[in-house]
Amino acid sequence: MVNGYMSGFGNSFETEALPGALPIGRNSPQKVNYGLYAEQLSGSPFTAPQATNQRSWLYRIRPTVKHSGRYTKVEKGLLRTAPAAREESELPIGQLRWAPIPIPNTALTFVNGLHTITTAGDSDTQVGMAAHLLLVTRSMEREYFFNADGEFLVVAQQGRLRFRTEFGVIDIEPGEICMIPRGVIFKVELLDGPARAYVCENYGGSFTLPDRGPIGANCLANPRDFLTPTAAYEDKEEPSTLFVKWGGELYRTDIGQSPLDVVAWHGNYAPYKYDLRHFSPVGAISFDHPDPSIFTVLTAPSETPGTANVDFVIFPERWLVAENTFRPPWYHRNLMSEFMGLIYGVYDAKPEGFVPGGMSLHNQMLPHGPDEKAFQHASNEEMKPVKLTGTMAFMFETRFPQRVTRFAAEHSALEHGYIDCWKGLKKHFDPTSREPTW
């Protein structure tokens, strides 16, 4: 246990905030200690195979049915759910990039601060994802939220966030991520001023660790570095609001107390955090640039082996040592669609223009690669070891095309000149000279 967290990925955990609150050897005794209610939260079908079966038992002050009255539909603001964005904008296809969207002065919580940039697939059929930009200027007070449409992978970019959840408390800072499973009730508080984060909403099966194959039992994201909170509960009787994202709509229900009233829990369906700086990258130590899948932190598989519903991939600090190699990403076209963000530092394929807090979208089969400056540099640099320091970029990569919302398509941060970053790439072909002379 580390400061209120338990270490391990996908473990069966158990934790209690009061001694003896957890029933021993059974889930549902006739009466639970301390007068608690027993409740199961299922993140997979009851009948899912053992390896993907996810559920937890929660011992709480009230059953969740008491944290719910009648639901009223409310304005969903800029929140969109697949396939909704499909019809939303007339933006032609193209390689897209957005400058960092400034955090406004208006009151934005985790709920109305979700600005959907892309949606992919169809949430009703539990396939695909959405990429949201989260801008937060206000802590949630007597406000709670859960999402029935998918899990939230939150990638902090600016400012620290505190997630108070049914399962306990998670704090993250830029460089860290937090995963809130589908259905888990939580609220988000600011720890030091306004915050910006990228959010992947995964409509499919839960994110899990990728198989390492021949890499073996270690490196990449190691299971012990994932942290799940220990039980912490609120016993607060005060008028409160619970927001629910369900079927692409937003609802509210008024309740008379905090729903974060879980005194003890056990199981393998729970939120977690992970520090991306603990990722141990494996890469080329001789020549050639490997596929970015070697940097997969988490993958949400689909029914087709190797074809992820969504992969979460990072580009962390690392040494580049490959000999006689064009070291940045190669020029490429991809079946999968690539949404990227920069948490901090410089991304080697786009030394200028792609800045922390910005976003880019290289959709299904649309060509992309290093900009002209990066190409020039990488084609002529001395092949000595170079360390990429102080950098952390990431990619949400999905098998589905990503549809751009009207908000993102019409925002002034969209860089209409983005494709000019490849304008200066010259023709070097010379059939009479085998050795490049440029």
Ligand X SMILES: O=C(O)Cc1cc(O)ccc1O
Measured from each CB, the residue nearest to Fe ion is 338
Q: How many residues are given for the chain?
A: 438
Whether residue 289 lies in the annotated active site = yes
Contact (CB, 8 A) for 262 and 58: yes
Q: Residue 8 binds which entry of Fe ion, ligand X, none, with Cβ cut-offs from 5 to 8 Å by kind?
A: none
**What sections of 99-208 are H helices per DSSP?**
none
List 115, 278, 289, 411, catalytic entry: 289
The DSSP code for 274 is E
Which whole-number Å values give the CA distances from 69 to 112, 240, 252, 397, in the listed order? Answer: 21, 11, 9, 38
Measured from each CB, the residue nearest to ligand X is 329
368 is in an annotated binding site: yes
Q: Residue 60 binds which entry of Fe ion, ligand X, none, with Cβ cut-offs from 5 to 8 Å by kind?
A: none
Residues 305-344 that bind Fe ion (CB under 5 A): 338
Question: What is the DSSP track for 422-434?
Answer: GTTPPP---TT-S
**What is the C-alpha to C-alpha distance for residues 97 and 86, in angstroms, rounded to an integer?**
19
Nearest residue (CB) to ligand X, 327 versus 403: 327
Q: How far is the CB of 335 from ligand X (least distance, A)?
A: 11
Non-local (6+) Cβ contacts of 213 within 8 A are none
Instruction: Give the torsion through C-alpha atoms of 19, 22, 154, 171, to 10 deg.
Output: 0
Q: How far is the CB of 137 from ligand X (least distance, A)?
A: 31
Spatial CA neighbour of 248 closest among 367, 140, 405, 96: 405
Nearest residue (CB) to ligand X, 73 versus 332: 332
Nearest residue (CB) to ligand X, 315 versus 407: 315
**What is the C-alpha to C-alpha distance for residues 177 and 417, in angstroms, rounded to an integer?**
31
Q: Residue 403 binds which entry of Fe ion, ligand X, none, with Cβ cut-offs from 5 to 8 Å by kind?
A: none
Q: How far is the CB of 400 from ligand X (least distance, A)?
A: 16
Radius of gyration for the alpha carbons in the chain, expressed in angstroms and rounded: 23
**What is the C-alpha to C-alpha distance for residues 111 and 135, in angstroms, rounded to an integer?**
10
Task: Tell me, by CB under 5 A, how many residues bind Fe ion.
Answer: 1
Grouping H, G, I as helix, E, B as strand and the rest as coil, residue 315 is: strand
Q: Residue 292 binds which entry of Fe ion, ligand X, none, with Cβ cut-offs from 5 to 8 Å by kind?
A: ligand X
Residues contributing to the site for ligand X (CB under 6 A): 292, 329, 332, 338, 349, 362, 368, 395
Q: How far is the CB of 374 from Fe ion (least distance, A)?
A: 13
Q: Residues within the annotated binding site for homogentisate?
A: 368
Binding site for Fe ion (CB under 5 A): 338
The residues annotated as belonging to the active site are 289
